[in-house]
Amino acid sequence: MQGTPVPLDVESYPVTPEGLDLEQVHIYVRHGERTPVRVRMSDPPASIPADWQMCDTAKSFHETVAGHIPTVDDGLWYRKVVENRHGKTAEGLCLLGELTDIGKKSTYSFGTALRSLYVDRLKFLPQKLEDERLTYFRSTNIARTIESLQHIVHGVYPPSTCAPGTIPSIIIRNAIDENLVSNTLACKRLALLELKFAEVAVAVWNPRLKPLDLKVSKYIGGMPLRLDGTPRASGILDTVRSAAAHGFRVPPEFMDDDVIGLIESAVTAEWFNIKSEDGRRLGMGRLLAGASEKMRRKAQPDSTDPTKLLVHSTHDSTLAALLCTFDVFDDKWPPFTSSVTFELFRKRTPASGLRALSSVWRRQDEHYVRMRYKNKNMVLPMCAEEGKHLPGSPEFCTLEAFQRRVEELTPRDWAEECRT
């Protein structure tokens, strides 16, 4: 079945060309496996459970991170107990959209893989965290992304590897100020743009989905499978993918790559096929502007910026939007715990001749940005021209070309553009 998680592969991480030094890493990771956000397909013959008992870990306040030793604080000691719509409770019962024990395990594993890569293999980060400024951890203000990041942080720098008094912070913004997602809550113009593109997708894809009715309608109460149907095709995809990720039996028709592939193509077109420059600017422009500015500061001659690893816990929509913005999206729904990474490299330019003797000459090093997704390097079309990438290595976009494109995508006044 398509949509299988793609764990971070430390062993296959490619050796960089000689002379390139890693300077900064920006990671945008989707939360781990979760329950569906609504109950769907629970009636026979689909019979996907409405209640999932897969949330045993971290029900108490002091056990939010796997392996954490509880401490005494003279208060706020409790257990979270979930009650279903019938007023019944059960051990390990999950809320809708909640990070499950499997999701906690996969995000912790992602964190340990980051440590294996950037601490143990590349020696990019120290074994022991003594300066919190080396790292930047941020999440959207959603429980599953916050919990995912807690487990990632625990994998990268567990308490035993942090100096006394050094506690990594997880940064969160108010929803109205969030730029880790395409913020339609705060940008009505973006919401209208997305609605228009979704309407186009409905017109194009609903006729293509119609032949599937004979195969799958029996699992959704006899209703036709449509992008704007009840339930929506996106909801069906969400439920099927979530159920399969947790080992629940899924109707065999949805295990057919041709069936689920068609549904996935339709849903990704509805959600992510925003090709307009306005949609890209208002959606991902601010996020990329922030990343570009951090890279600029890091790339300054004699920079004293200590930040090396930035991890952002976010959603499938963010990963797809980033990939679409740079024209490298594979039209597949981003799996749980998948990530988009931007790595900043420095190619040092040695001084020679009179410049080596001059006290006023300042080294002008070259800088490059590499984008990675699903353990693969992304060759960005915007950097394809000669002079816009490292010779012989098109996946290394020059920082100048990267920043020029980001500048084009950066709204001058986001709030004002959102109103017009």
Q: According to the model, what pLDDT value does residue 360 have?
A: 47
How many C-beta atoms lie closer than 10 Å to residue 141's C-beta?
13
CA distance 98 to 59: 12
Q: According to the model, what pLDDT value does residue 58 have?
A: 52
What's the one-letter identity of residue 395? Answer: E
Q: Is 70 exceeded by the pLDDT of residue 71?
A: no
Residue 134 CA neighbour count, 13 Å, CB half = 17
Over the stretch 250-270, which tens digit does the pLDDT of each residue have?
999 999 999 999 999 999 999
Lowest-confidence range among 4-18, 122-136, 330-344? 4-18
Q: If DSSP codes are grouped into helix, strand and coil, which group holds residue 404?
A: helix
Task: Report the length, in residues, of the chain.
Answer: 420
Q: According to the model, what pLDDT value does residue 59 have?
A: 53
Mean pLDDT of 9-16: 94
What's the one-letter identity of residue 119? Answer: V
What's the one-letter identity of residue 177? Answer: D
Q: Provide the angle, in degrees to the nearest 10, between the axes of the packed helices 188-209 and 277-299.
A: 120
Q: Choose between 316 and 365: higher pLDDT.
A: 316
DSSP states along 226-254: BTTSSSBHHHHHHHHHHHHHTT----GGG
Q: According to the model, what pLDDT value does residue 148 have?
A: 98
Mean pLDDT of 50-65: 69
Identify whether 231 is preceded by a cis peptide bond (ω within 30 of 0).
yes
Lowest-confidence range among 16-20, 290-294, 394-398? 16-20
Mean pLDDT of 46-67: 72
Q: Of 74-78, 194-198, 310-314, which one has max mean pLDDT?
A: 310-314
Measured at the CA of 88, the angle between CA 250 and CA 233, to 5 degrees, comes to 30
Q: According to the model, what pLDDT value does residue 44 have?
A: 97
Q: If DSSP codes are grouped into helix, strand and coil, which group holds residue 145?
A: helix
CA distance 365 to 382: 22
Closest listed residue to residue 346, CA positions, set 123, 14, 19, 21: 21
Over the stretch 125-157, which tens digit does the pLDDT of each residue have?
999 999 999 999 999 999 999 999 999 999 999
Residue 419 in contact with residue 319, Cβ under 8 Å?
A: no
Q: According to the model, what pLDDT value does residue 1 have?
A: 56
Q: If DSSP codes are grouped into helix, strand and coil, which group holds residue 26?
A: strand
Q: According to the model, what pLDDT value does residue 354 have?
A: 52
What's the one-letter identity of residue 288? Answer: L
Record the pTM: 0.93
Mean pLDDT of 77-101: 91
Cα 97 to Cα 35, 90, 94, 267, distances in angstroms: 5, 17, 8, 19
Q: Is 70 exceeded by the pLDDT of residue 396?
A: yes
- List alpha helices for 309-398, DSSP H: 316-325, 353-357
> Which residue has tokens 């939010």?
64
Mean pLDDT of 177-192: 95
Q: According to the model, what pLDDT value does residue 78 have?
A: 74
Over the stretch 335-385, which tens digit does the pLDDT of each residue have?
999 999 999 999 987 766 555 555 444 456 899 999 999 999 999 999 999
Residue 200 in contact with residue 336, Cβ under 8 Å?
A: no
Torsion on CA atoms 347, 291, 12, 162, rounded to nearest 10: 100
Q: According to the model, what pLDDT value does residue 358 have?
A: 53
